[in-house]
Amino acid sequence: MASPLYVAKKGTFDEFREVFNAEEQDATDMLMAALTNRDPEARASICNYTLDKGADAGAEDEDQNTLTVLLGRHRHLGEGDGDLVKRLVDGGADVNFRARLGYLPLRLAVEIRVDDDEKRRPVYEALFGAETLDLELPSDKGDQEETLAQWLRMIVDDQPDDFKVLDEFVKAKGY
């Protein structure tokens, strides 16, 4: 039988439920693993299940948090990822956490691939809706002069047709 950690990363929701026991395994460890699951449906189901079982939505390790794992690990935004971002933010995930490569969750959200920026709307709603979001932070650790707000404005101005939804949120914040 595969370990729960392996199944969280690679398996289906049904497979995970067969091997996971919240009394014996750490739900937060399972959440962090499940955030890397490449199957969007399994990822959403397993992550929500672990959160229901007490996983810490705001979990961090030395160089990543739940948001940076979810938004930085996948090429494409999954169907359930927007709702998951909201749940993580509502549960205490730090929207200003700088990942190991220097990127913030909002920057990762803009860079994750989608067919249409509208699909990012739930992610933008969660991140821009966080009271603690700081758009004056450096956009990445290598460029201490350009703020996240400036970077977002540049992205919108350079590709207005691709980032209409992002533009709404940036303008609403006064940028």
9 shares its domain with 91 = no
Q: Where are the alpha helices (DSSP H) in 53-116?
A: 66-72, 81-90, 105-111
151 shares its domain with 120 = yes
33 shares its domain with 118 = no
Q: Which of 18, 49, 119 is nearest to 33 (CA)?
A: 49
State the pLDDT at residue 141: 78
124 shares its domain with 105 = yes
The residue among 24, 39, 56 that closes a domain is: 56
- Burial class from Cβ neighbours inside 10 Å (0-12, 13-18, 19+) for residue 55 reads buried
The residue among 40, 56, 72 that closes a domain is: 56
Rounded to 5°, the CA angle 24-81-45 comes to: 35
172 shares its domain with 96 = yes
SS3 of the chain: helix, strand, coil, percent, to 5: 50, 10, 40
32 shares its domain with 87 = no
Number of domains, the chain: 2
51 shares its domain with 99 = no
Tell me, what CATH number does 88's domain have? 1.25.40.20
165 shares its domain with 124 = yes
Q: Which residue has the tokens 């009394």?
A: 23
104 shares its domain with 119 = yes
45 shares its domain with 67 = no
Q: Which residue has the tokens 């101005």?
A: 157
30 shares its domain with 61 = no
64 shares its domain with 83 = yes
pLDDT in 10s for each residue of the chain, 175 residues: 699 999 999 999 999 999 999 999 999 999 999 999 999 999 999 999 999 999 999 999 989 999 999 999 999 999 999 999 999 999 999 999 999 889 999 999 999 999 999 999 999 999 999 999 999 999 987 777 899 999 999 999 999 999 999 999 999 999 9
Name the residue range of residue 7's domain: 1-56
What are the distances in angstroms from CA 89 to CA 44, 71, 171?
15, 13, 21
